[in-house]
Amino acid sequence: MLTRNEIDDFLKKARKRGERTLSLLGKYQEFIKALSTPIGNELLSDLITKHEILIDKISNLNATDEEKMMYKVVRELILVWSTRIANFNEAVNSIKKGE
């Protein structure tokens, strides 16, 4: 992941913004670690599969009202999870680049 030297160099250059970036890393680190476990991978895979099934039913106009509501929940979860993953990766890349 990141070395101590990368983090130290980043903090020297970025100062307050660097502290915010590290805070973001800490905030999402447990989530990212959880997704890296077998159960986390299974949960993410199940969520994506459910999304594919529901979007297919909706696009074919075969979805029930319950499936439409379920799609909204699944879509929201995917958006939240993908935002967390993207923010975490951006923070890691920012530190590695020393920005």
Give the tens place of pLDDT for each residue, 47-86.
Answer: 999 999 999 999 999 999 999 999 999 999 999 999 999 9
More confident residue, 61 or 14: 61
- Alpha-carbon distance 43 to 96, whole Å? 29
- Alpha-carbon distance 91 to 31, whole Å? 14
Question: What pLDDT is attached to residue 8?
Answer: 80
The C-alpha torsion from 31 through 45 and 71 to 33, rounded to 10°, is: 0
CA 3 to chain centroid: 22
